[in-house]
Structure 1
């Protein structure tokens, strides 16, 4: 028995009306899921649970079709907290490219800067001083390229927190890019001094003075190394900007 034209039209109408209903259901699911996932990400961040932050970011990627920067931002922050600096940087760079306003840009940019700073720290700890300086310069360029009101915290979207973290990071990064004290300076002689000033001095005294100066330099180097390690430890997961959870 063949289907009548009226029945076929009714079926087509039912199929056509099912699509909008499905879209409404998906939108409702997204709206219901977002607060749960963002709350989960915030709780994981406060407890220093990088894996929890990353997992929340992965789930956000499934439901968040409007703020497309949010999922890679949360996921990248989680990866960086876990120690996966390369993966975290990749996700945060993706998130930065998806932001649509200065406040979101500043939020993502802050965590990206902190992640790159930790990459610079890792290079320094591995003895790669050239790489440490190069990566630090990349982070500084990112800070300088931020939107107006980001660095000073006046319009960073985080109540000044993101701007403060960037300022602190900038200070540490600038120390990395400056030449070490004494580089090339000790080799130059003061032209106003006459060589005759040293004539008649005790050679043994000169040798002791030289040894003392070398010890002082070594002590300064150890202090600088300890300072860098302490700063690297302080810039772990807890330094990342919390919002927008």
Structure 2
């Protein structure tokens, strides 16, 4: 009985088939991780792109374009979730859409953590202050004072850490001195709130114009004329003829 020698070519083919099968299963098993990695990278790139577009549009006063770009950050907002509503609210505030801007910035404040709250609080206080200015321009002093009080509360509740160098480095506006901005906003709001709470000054009554009174000489002249007229009338009624033959003159 003889044993056939193994066929090297057949063994090689079988080994290649096993390797291909293993690679295929490895590819299938790692496919979710690959897709997740691609999505991660794509999201990062899109976030940077939308953020850059939002900033660029804001700088050139294209607030509607800035808002549209910022809203692009809201999709799958995993990284720095406060940034999308913060950028949207800032653009809306610059466009004077104050109630909508305030709502977005308040949303951003709830999502912010640590030093992220510093810039959010500054912009939120500025938007509420503008609401107060608008109410004052409409003659609604009570609402204006209320808005100024709310903006002052937002400013006073800003953490002390927001005055640090680390907070300045993380600011969305590096040219703005965060500590000085907070102090200026606080002082300005206090002054505006006091102005609206003070009672209005009493209105001065305009003096009534008095009719001019005649002088003493004028009064004496009028009296002399009245007396002279009375004497002439008496003489006409009595007649000047001694015999009384003249006819009466009509009065």
Q: Same fold by TM (over 0.5)?
A: yes
Other-structure match for 1:35: 48
Structure 1 counterpart of 2:192: 176
Q: 1:135 to 1:11 in 2, by over 3 A?
A: same
Judged with a 3 Å threshold, the aligned counterparts in structure 2 of structure 1 residues 120 and 179 are, in CA distance, closer, same or farther, namely closer
The structure-2 alpha-carbon separation of the partners of 1:17 and 1:122, relative to structure 1 and needing over 3 Å to count, comes to same
- Kindly indicate whether structure 1 or structure 2 has the higher relative contact order, using CA contacts under 8 Å at least 6 residues apart: 1
Contact 2:145 2:197 in 1 (8 A): no
- Note closer, same or farther for the CA distance 1:182–1:81 as it changes in structure 2 (3 Å cut): closer
Q: 61, 64, 67: which is aligned to 1:48?
A: 61
User: Normalised by the size of structure 2, how large is the TM-score?
Assistant: 0.63
**Cα distance in 2 for residues equivalent to 1:33 and 1:185:** 57
Task: Tell me the C-alpha RMSD between the 2 structures.
Answer: 3.0
The question of 1:116 aligning with 2:128 is answered: yes
Shift in CA distance, 80/184, structure 1 to aligned 2, threshold 3 Å: closer
1:75 equivalenced with 2:88 (yes/no): yes
Query: How far 1:182 sits from its partner (Å)?
Result: 7.4
Are the counterparts in 2 of residues 77 and 88 from structure 1 also a CA contact under 8 Å?
Answer: yes
CA deviation map 1:92-150 (0-9, x unaligned): 11111111212x11011111111111111111111110000001000000001001143
1:30-57 deviation digits (Å, cap 9, x = unpaired): 2222332222122112112211221121
| Residue 146 (structure 1) aligns with | 158
Aligned length, in residue pairs: 182
Give the Cα–Cα distance (whole angstroms) in 2 for the partners of residues 74 and 91 of structure 1: 9
TM-score (norm 1): 0.64
Unaligned runs of 5+ in 2: 1-21, 208-251
Provide closer, same or farther for how the CA distance between residues 140 and 181 of structure 1 changes in structure 2, counting only shifts above 3 A.
closer
Q: 1:21: Cα distance to partner?
A: 1.0
Structure 1 residue 166 and structure 2 residue 179: aligned? Answer: no
**Which of the two has higher C-alpha Rg?**
2
**Structure-2 separation of matches of 1:86 and 1:180:** 21
